Structure formats: structure tokens, C-alpha cells
């Protein structure tokens, strides 16, 4: 079995440098780090996680707490996180946090207290006061991503600006009868940080700026099925909107499905815009606000590595961008099919 001494000889460095290079900690140049990794790969050397943990007091493992209800979004974010952690020698442990109280209690009272991770990334979950307190009691570096609680240091997209941008695009095309499909504030969530609430606030602000005092809102959860039900009610009512801003791309797919079922042409009869930058958006011609979820995950990975002292912190706002495709166009003129 290959030992660390053999890697050090092959790379022409000390065993201490090998340890620093492979752990991702300590001052080692990128050229030396790459030489050590290449030597370790060629010799088939893998350091003992247990030995490294005993020596350093670290597990070289980062936990991610996430609700796995939206497979595409969270899978993309997780891939972004892994793209930063893996090159630094860190593993990733996923803790699913669902809606069941007993399951959640098990995560906070048992799983997270087993000292198997050096730090935590918390993704877009609603946490109550007791859960926030339990996270704080762990004594671990924690980075949030889109978490609607002010107690957690978190990376966030400016979702109010996202809502404004999506609505402004429709207004600029000439739409005035615009409906928003979103989600109301969950119990215990902060209205200042809750993502759906902020997107709705941006929508209402943009509509208000355009002189529209009572913009239309329909509630749905962040699923295709939920948005389909809300869209059907909007599109079969007596006063059909000419455009719909859906709070996520998957919700927008539900709107597109209902429009097709009702024989409505998109964008001739109805314009639709979503949020996320979903992989299938281009296939459906969906105009969207791309919030670069893979990049968000990478930024979260960078942030937890900085909190662990592995890298230096780099602060910058999370970006988003309007991507115009074929699902939006000016509204039909009266009397013109």
C-alpha cells in the first residue's frame, strides 16, 4: 500500500507539504499542489480519513441541509457546491429536511450532532426558532443560500429585483393585464427574506410604478401541478390576463401546459415568463430570469471553504439575468386575432 513518504519522494517535497496539498489547507502554491496531486494519483495514494481527522480535528466533510422537493434546482446547486469542495479534498454529506416534524427532529437532534462534518451549507429551507437555536448550538461554520432567516449568514439573490425585472419585461412589451402566480408567506418565515414574498413584492412594485393599483395574484406551490391549477382558474375566468409571471420555471411549465390544453397560443394569446434558468427552458422557448443555480452552489462552496479557513472569502452579489425567448411578445391588439 502506497504511503505518504512515497508521494513526497515522487513529488520532490516534504510529507508535511503533501499533507497540506491534499487536505487543501495551509500555504501551498497551486503548482506544488498540482504536482502532489498528480504524484498521489499516479501512485494510487488515498489518505486515511480517520487518521487525518485525528491529526487535524477535522473530518474534511461538509454537510448540506436541503429539502429535496425540487430535484432539478437542488441537484444543480449541489453540483456547483461539489465543484468547489471536491478539488479541495472535501466530501459532502446530504441531510434531507422535509415537511414531516418527526423527520426534521431526527435531523436536528441526532444526525447533525454526530460531529461528522466540519461545516454546514443550508439551502432554501424554512427554519423555526428551535431549529435555528439547534444549528447555533452545533458550534460549526454555517453558510445559508436563500434561507429566509436573518440569524444565518447567507448568500441571496435580490429576489425583489428579480420580480421587478420579470414584470418590467412584460410591461415594456405593452402588457397591462398581468397576473403573478406565486406562494404566500409560510409560517415563521421572514417577509424580508422569503423568496416568493420578495418576488411578489417586486411584481407589485413594478405594476404600481406603471399605475396599476391592484395587480392580480394567484397562489400555488412551487410545482408544475400547483401552477396548472392556478393557471386554469386564471385562464378560464371572465377576464383572462394577457401575460403571466410565474415565480419559477417549473411553475411556468404548468402555465404553458394549461394554455395548450385551452387552445391558447403562446405568445400570441398569452405571454409567460418564469424564474430560475431551468435546463428545459430553451426547449420550451421560455423567457426566464436566469439565477444561475450552478454558480450559486459554487459560491456557497467557496463561502464554506472560506469559513473553514481553507480559502479567502470573496464577497459579491449573486447575479441574475433576463433571458428572452419565444414565450413573450406584445399583447394582441383589440379586434385582431
Q: Are residues 142 and 226 in the same domain?
A: no
Greater model confidence, 70 or 109: 109
Any idea what DSSP says for residue 156? Answer: -
Q: Are residues 100 and 165 in the same domain?
A: no
CATH code at 135?
3.40.50.2300
Which has the closest alpha carbon to 151: 114, 98, 120, 193?
193
CA gap 182, 37 in Å, rounded? 48
Q: Report strand pairing: 154-155 vs 119-123.
A: unpaired
90: containing domain = 59-156+294-307
Report pLDDT for 15.
83
Contact between 195 and 148 under an 8 Å Cβ cutoff? The reply is: yes
Q: Write 275-280 long-range contacts (CB < 8 A, 24+).
A: 275/162, 275/166, 275/199, 275/246, 275/247, 275/248, 275/249, 276/73, 276/248, 276/249, 276/250, 277/249, 277/323, 278/72, 278/73, 278/249, 278/250, 279/72, 279/76, 280/249, 280/253
Q: Is residue 81 part of a domain?
A: yes
Q: What is the pLDDT of residues 19-51, one digit of tens each?
A: 777 766 667 888 888 888 888 888 877 665 444
Q: Are residues 150 and 163 in the same domain?
A: no
| Most confident range, picked from 27-31, 212-216, 262-266 | 262-266
CA gap 87, 37 in Å, rounded? 10
For 178, the enclosing helix (H) or strand (E) is strand 178-182
Q: What is the pLDDT of residues 136-189, one digit of tens each?
A: 999 999 999 988 888 888 899 999 999 999 999 999 999 999 999 999 876 666
Q: Are residues 195 and 102 in the same domain?
A: no
Q: Is residue 107 part of a domain?
A: yes
Kindly indicate the confidence band of residue 60, based on its pLDDT and cuts at 50, 70 and 90: confident
What's the rounded mean pLDDT across residues 89-115?
A: 91
CA angle 181, 185, 189 (to 5 degrees): 145
Percent of the chain at pLDDT exceeding 70? 90
Q: Is residue 211 part of a domain?
A: yes
Report pLDDT for 54.
37
Provide the number of structural domains found in the chain: 3
Kindly indicate the confidence band of residue 222, based on its pLDDT and cuts at 50, 70 and 90: confident
Kindly indicate the confidence band of residue 56, based on its pLDDT and cuts at 50, 70 and 90: very low
Measure CA of the first residue to CA of the last residue in the chain; give whole Å.
Answer: 76
Q: What SS3 class is residue 282?
A: coil
pLDDT at 282 over 80: yes
| pLDDT mean across residues, the chain | 88
pLDDT at 55 over 50: no
What's the rounded mean pLDDT across residues 184-208?
A: 85
Amino acid at each position: 500500500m502506497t504511503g505518504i513518504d512515497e508521494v513526497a519522494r515522487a513529488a520532490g517535497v516534504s510529507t508535511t507539504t503533501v499533507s497540506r496539498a491534499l487536505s487543501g489547507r495551509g500555504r501551498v502554491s497551486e503548482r506544488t499542489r498540482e504536482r502532489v496531486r498528480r504524484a498521489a494519483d499516479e501512485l494510487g495514494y488515498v489518505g486515511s480519513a480517520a487518521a487525518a481527522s485525528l491529526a487535524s480535528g477535522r473530518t474534511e466533510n461538509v454537510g448540506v441541509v436541503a429539502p429535496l422537493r425540487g430535484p432539478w434546482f437542488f441537484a444543480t446547486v449541489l453540483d456547483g457546491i461539489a465543484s468547489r469542495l471536491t478539488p479541495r479534498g472535501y466530501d459532502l454529506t446530504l441531510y434531507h429536511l422535509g415537511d414531516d416534524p418527526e423527520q426534521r427532529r431526527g435531523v436536528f437532534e441526532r444526525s447533525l450532532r454526530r460531529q461528522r462534518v466540519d461545516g454546514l451549507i443550508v439551502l432554501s429551507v424554512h427554519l423555526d426558532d428551535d431549529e435555528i437555536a439547534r444549528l447555533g448550538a452545533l458550534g460549526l461554520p454555517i453558510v445559508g443560500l436563500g434561507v429566509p432567516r436573518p440569524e444565518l449568514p447567507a448568500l441571496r439573490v435580490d429576489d425583489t429585483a428579480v420580480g421587478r425585472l420579470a414584470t418590467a419585461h412584460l410591461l415594456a412589451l405593452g402588457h397591462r393585464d398581468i397576473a403573478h402566480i406565486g406562494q404566500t408567506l409560510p409560517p415563521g418565515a421572514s417577509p424580508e427574506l422569503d423568496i416568493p414574498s420578495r418576488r411578489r413584492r417586486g411584481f407589485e412594485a413594478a405594476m404600481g410604478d406603471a399605475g396599476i393599483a391592484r395587480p392580480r395574484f394567484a397562489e400555488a406551490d412551487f410545482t408544475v401541478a400547483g401552477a396548472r391549477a392556478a393557471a386554469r382558474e386564471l385562464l378560464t375566468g371572465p377576464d383572462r390576463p394577457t401575460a403571466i409571471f410565474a415565480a419559477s420555471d417549473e411553475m411556468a411549465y404548468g402555465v404553458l401546459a394549461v394554455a395548450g390544453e385551452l387552445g391558447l397560443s403562446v405568445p400570441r394569446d398569452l405571454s409567460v415568463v418564469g424564474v430560475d434558468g431551468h435546463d428545459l427552458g430553451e426547449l420550451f422557448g421560455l423567457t426566464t430570469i436566469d439565477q444561475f443555480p450552478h454558480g450559486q452552489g459554487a459560491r456557497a462552496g467557496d463561502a464554506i471553504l472560506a469559513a473553514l479557513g481553507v480559502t479567502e472569502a470573496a464577497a459579491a452579489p449573486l447575479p441574475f439575468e433576463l433571458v428572452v425567448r419565444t414565450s413573450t411578445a406584445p399583447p394582441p391588439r383589440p379586434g385582431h386575432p
